[in-house]
Structure 1
Amino acid sequence: MSTHLRTPRRLAALAIGLAALLAAPAGPALAAPQVGAAPAIQDVAAAPVVANPGNQVSLQWDSAYLQMTATGGVKPYTWSASNLHLGTSINASTGLISGVLRGSGTRTVTVTARDATGASAPVTFTWRVIRDACPRC
């Protein structure tokens, strides 16, 4: 090694350069794993929330059109319903409950929306169908 590399000025410059290199943040490929470090937080969408349409009251033999809505989660949603009145059904793609209400009485209906990740949310409401005293008047 020549003597001009060992001068105090050159050694000081090398030391400063080495310190700057060691202090620089490493990229993700060069970063050393840290023991006991918290895992990275992933961006996870919240589960869907189905809006409660409130309790429903209808007359027997009337047409039903009840659009269910949801927020959150990852679209598209898949809709299902249990305990609907005879003559009605829910569209699995749109969440529209429709049909002709053929029975009477009060039912507790549960509607569930499942998002694209499989997260689901139910909502429950009552639906009362009243027998019309004069259906052909």
Structure 2
Amino acid sequence: MSTHLRTPRRLAALAVGLTALLAAPAGPALAAPQTAAAPAIHDVAAAPVVANPGNQVNFQWDPVRLQMTAAGGVTPYTWSASNLHLGTSINPSTGLISGALRGSGTRTVTVTAKDATGASASVSFTWRVIRDACPRC
């Protein structure tokens, strides 16, 4: 703050001005606008939540059926998945992951459900596929 604003006379004038401003009644220009009715509050559905199926372990060439589920949001859901093992896919309408597991290894799979309003939720889990010593025995 510069020194020319620190003089006692200027500080006293500032204090008197602030006191007058704070003591003045609020007129129509300063009052909060009045509305005829409160705005309508719309129910907003919570975003969907995808249930975690837990970590999965299967043998190579096993047929799999893993049903994904979700709650909340607005149905129907559209399902998608990333990093699925070769030979499996997810049904975008039902959320069922199915197929025959080809290859082996561990992957982190991410499944996403998108509801009718466009809100989405995801869950990730690991899926380990073990190479069977004798796949056709």
Q: TM-score, normalised by structure 1?
A: 0.72
Measure how far apart 1:34 and its partner are.
Answer: 3.0
Aligned length: 105
Which residue of 2 is the match for residue 12 of structure 1? none
AA matched with 1:63:
P
Which residue does the alignment assign to 2:118?
118
Computed over aligned residues only, the root mean square deviation of the Cα atoms, in angstroms, reads 1.8
Gaps of 5+ in 1: 1-32
Write the distance in 1 (CA, Å) between the matches of 2:34 and 2:85.
59
Shift of 1:38: 6.3
- Where does residue 93 of structure 2 map in the other structure? 93
State the Cα deviation string for residues 77-121 of structure 1 (Å, max 9, x = none): 000000000000000000000000001000000000000000000
Matched letter for residue 83 of structure 2 = N
Query: How far apart are 1:41 and its partner, in Å?
Result: 2.3
* Percent of matched pairs sharing the same residue: 87
What is the distance in 1 between the residues matched to 2:34 and 2:125?
Answer: 51
1:27-38 alignment, distance < 5 Å: 34-35=34-35
Instruction: Give structure 1 regions of 4+ aligned residues with deviation exceeding 3 angstroms.
Output: 37-40
SS at match of 1:97: strand
- Change in Cα spacing, 1:38 to 1:124, as seen in structure 2 (3 Å) is farther
